[in-house]
Chain A
Amino acid sequence: MCVHHVSADLTIPSDLGEARLLETRIVDALGANSYSEHDIFAIRLAIEEALVNAIKHGNQFDPDKSVAVTFAVTCERFEIKIVDEGPGFNPEDVPDPTAIENIERACGRGLLLIRGFMSEVQYHGRGNIVTMCKLRTANGEA
């Protein structure tokens, strides 16, 4: 049953432990709204990849920088906006990790997974802002 609309606007330090606490909070909100295990996995993975990008690549773990997060869980969809204080990047400059010359590289798959698991993903500004949403899968759908 979908009953608890949850939304929050908060700031976390450049600390992956804090990111994981936030992920747990969002997973709990999704569970309270009876999102499927598949949807929860997809959303959690996308948040993990995006927050690692923001904290590690954006803020470079700088304790003086933080990450602003706004999210909302409704019956129909999950939405999140993540803003870091880094220099940003152009997503089109990121090499395709599935290309034959990159397939065995150790890293660089975060963006691909975010796009693969979420319904919509957009980068804004200088590339330090990402918004993404996941439409809730109806019961019985894979």
Chain B
Amino acid sequence: MASQPPRRRRLEVEDIGDIAVVNFVDKKILDEQNIQMIGDDLFRLVDELGRRKILLNFQNVEFMSSAALGKLIALHRKLQGVQGKLVLCKIAKDILDVFKITKLDKILTIVADEQTGLQSF
């Protein structure tokens, strides 16, 4: 049986103290299959690797549709359920409008930069 090609990495995770700082590899977060895999990788940080503080850095992300929002909310809920916390940072102005229009900026913790994010746990 032919072996499957190696799964493409979609997230860069760096541990700073007990905070997992996550950068997205892709500039565009659109494709549903891709979003599903990003969601799986994020959930694995909590469920399998026991991370409780996650800082998502959006500095590489230039475009994102509504399809990705559901995963972010699910991650937020999952972390709340284990007394953890999700923080988002470095979101481009246009993408920030996506959060504002949907009012998810009222639900999620969004800060300007990574340093502020690290201090907000």
Query: Hey, which bits of chain A sit against chain B, CB under 8 A?
Result: 16, 20, 37-38, 41-42, 44-45, 48-49, 52, 97-98, 103-107, 109-110, 112-113, 116-117
Contact = CB atoms under 8 A, between A and B. Distances in A.
Nearest to B100: A116
Contacts of A97: 102
B98 A113 contact: yes
Nearest to B93: A38
Interface stretch (B8-16, B61-69, B82-90, B111-119): B61-69
A109 B66 CA distance: 6
Given A98-B102, A103-B103, A113 B70 contact: no
A52 B65 contact: yes
A112 B102 contact: yes
A113 B67 CA distance: 11
B40 interface: no
The B contact surface, by secondary structure, is: helix
Contacts of A104: 73, 77, 107
B97 interface: yes
B65 A45 contact: yes
A103 B32 CA distance: 21
B18 interface: no
A54 to B, nearest CB: 14
Interface centre among A109, A110, A112, A113 (most CB of B within 10 A): A109
Nearest to A38: B94
B66 A113 contact: yes
Given A106-B69, A109-B102, A116-B101, 4 more contacts: A16-B32, A104-B77, A106-B74, A113-B66
Contact of A109 (B69, B71, B74, B106): B69
Contact of B104 (A38, A103, A110): A103
A110 B104 CA distance: 14
Contacts of A49: 65-66
A37 B93 CA distance: 11
A106 B70 contact: yes
A140 B85 CA distance: 38
A37 B94 CA distance: 9
A11 to B, nearest CB: 22
A106 B63 contact: no
A56 B43 CA distance: 25
